[in-house]
Amino acid sequence: MAKIGILGCDSTTRSMNCVMIGCFGNLREKKGSFADYPKDEPLNLIGIIHCGGCPTAVGADGIWQKVKALTDYGIDSLHLTSCLVQICPFKDEFIKTIRKDFPQLNIVEGTHPFHDIDAFKKGIRELVSQRAVPPQRMNDLVFKKIKIASDDKMD
């Protein structure tokens, strides 16, 4: 039985509220990047962890801790989520580091089928920059312009 760990992108989960529905659905149905496992072999999802946030100047060095948290439970395959594979500028460096530190690990790039890369990047850019539909901010509260969803009125 394949013992699987998933390494995801912190930004898509934390900032964009991704609940990984595509990753789990494809794992359950052995589709997407899970299609290559033998048909009669059950998949055992051991755990999920996220990268910890964009490492900027530190580079990929800290990723070993995240992967170790999964290898401690005996995973033999590590799937990088499809969003990480498609948008993460550190992806290749992460993979190089993981290969060096965990040579026994089967690294799989992806979870669900890949998106159209240009449309996906445009969508992610909008989710991050929020230009089309600007979010409310602290300044809206300070300047008493904040819109309240409930019947509660601001004094």
**Interface residues toward ligand SF4, by CB under 6 A:** 9-11, 51, 53-55, 84, 87-88, 90
Residue number, 10 or 76, with CB nearest to ligand SF4: 10
Cβ 55 to ligand SF4 shortest distance, Å: 6
CA pair distance 155, 151, nearest whole angstrom: 12
Tokens of 93: 């460096």
Residue number, 60 or 105, with CB nearest to ligand SF4: 60
Cβ 78 to ligand SF4 shortest distance, Å: 13
Cβ 88 to ligand SF4 shortest distance, Å: 3
Answer left, alpha or beta for residue 104, where phi above 0 means left and psi between -120 and 50 means alpha: alpha
CB 86 within 8 A of CB 114: yes
Residue 39: half-sphere exposure toward Cβ, Cα within 13 Å: 0
Residue number, 87 or 95, with CB nearest to ligand SF4: 87
